[in-house]
Structure 1
Amino acid sequence: SLSYFSSMNMMKSLRDINSDTTQKAIASSADTAAAAAAAAQAANIPGLSHIKTKLGGVELPDQAIVKQREKEIQKIKAIEEAQKLLKKPFPNDIRKWSVEDVGRWLDTLSLSQYKKAFSEASVDGDFLMELRPEDMRDILGMGHSLHVQKVIVTREKLRPLNEMEERKKFMVEQEELARQNRDQPSEPIPEVETVFSQIRNGRYNRVEKALDLGYEANDTDSHGNSALIIAAQNLNKRICDLLLNRGANINHQNSQGNTAMHYAMSYDPEGTLGEFLIGRGADDTLENQLGLSPYDGID
């Protein structure tokens, strides 16, 4: 349902792994931090023209001041080099980050004081994802609890989606595409019987196109059959997978109370499709109107 996909969108927004957005956020914070640091350093450098001393009747800059100025210039150069380094793209997958990448990331969080500890501990991206708060506090010396919290919160936003979350993300994206097509269809959305006929004939590409055009995966015929049930009746695992990825209700029951699992177990003695459906979340305890579970048959 749309409410379901809305909730998925909320999940997606909380764990946005869009690489472009991440890179822009990192670059923006890096530029701001570096520019501010450079300005602060520049503001503290005294001008040589105002500090002179006499040697043999000739006014010369005080050597201590010269050395101080050189030191400050070196600091500014280091800041500029760090700024260039921060603009280097981060790998999209945090688990592929190097120790250097982790150090650059700490710079963007204004936590550069911990770079040395993280580097000495060889904390790369994969290791970073496994660090516990107590590790950061007791081993890496992050004494401020809010600093630890900042690392954890920001790290979680970069954590790759697991297989189930990737599937849900894909479903959300496909539902959004279907919604746009329903609002502005490029061609008519196929009728239920047309799609069911395509499924019975194994026309995978046609079924996929119907879904892209906005066909609702959970639409039913006069007998309460859904597209998934029709695919299960025809033992078409590939189309079953397509429909499930587009939001089909795996436990939908038709007017007789049978589910896709009932037909999979009845028509596939080897149980291959039934095993697949169970792996995707099918409830094998549901009974039809005759009180039969998928293991008992359909009539």
Structure 2
Amino acid sequence: MKKKLYIYIQNLLPKLLITKFFSYISKKKLSIITTFFIFLFIKIYKINMKETKYPNIFYYKTFNKFFIRKLNMNNRPIDNNKHHIIQNTDGIINQLGIIKKNKLFQFKGCEYSLYDLLGQNNNINKIFTNGYFINIYLSPKNYHRIHMSYNGFLLKMIYIPGKLFPVNNIFSENLCNLFILNERVIFLFKTSFGFMVKILIGAQIVGNIYNSWSGLVISSRRNKIKTWNWPYIKNFYKKDSIFLKKGEEMGYFNLGSTVITLFPPKTIKFNPVLKKGLNIKIGELLAYII
């Protein structure tokens, strides 16, 4: 009952206005106030600052700079086996499994449409039907930068407008179609084993989504799908092509959210130790190429 009431109240809230407000505040230089809130946040969420590139909290002049802090990547060794695909972020496994025909499992009694998740792009939908998916939730304590799971050329980026519901456990396990209701950015890559998609899901108080090659994906939220394309010819560079290596940073959230990764059928086999609720880290084994 409490969960249903929480979802109902959230549905009434002006989520975009709340998001803009927190985004604005998080980027303000508030001197000792900023430092105090960072200190408090670290204590509440038990964040290990020894893992960060800049562990001194006085280094961060805004809360947002702290939230998108970089890690000392020596603490995240990358599995460089060419037959291995790696985890792309720190977080908690929300769900993983097979895309049964055109459906992804969210929770018991709820499956959501791959076609709708991909913004009703039929060409991409066909590639991943009957494929595989993994959904990773980035909690407030997590590192909020996303890295590449495998070497790949970027072919397409798609911004899909939507709601800004929270993506915590209460919502992901109770609000059906959460990930197709929310704003998101889709990245389509071409790799040596086939295509791969990364989907960054927006959420309440997620200020913005950035990528590593052009910065802010969308500066003003409009009710319109926007698509960017890049050239690619048979594994060779072409002018303006974008190639990212395994483990390389591909983007970040300006306040946390969820990342969904898709693989085509008959391309990978998940690491058998992976399961819902497991804490994972960048560089660890995600899947084997088959």
Same fold flag (TM > 0.5): no
Q: For the superposition of Structure 1 and Structure 2, which TM-score range results when normalised by the shorter chain?
A: under 0.3
Q: TM-score, normalised by structure 1?
A: 0.22
TM-score by length of 2: 0.23
* Higher share in strand: 2
Between structures 1 and 2, the one with greater helix share: 1
Pick the structure with greater CA Rg: 1
Structure with bigger RCO (C-alpha 8 Å, 6+ apart): 2
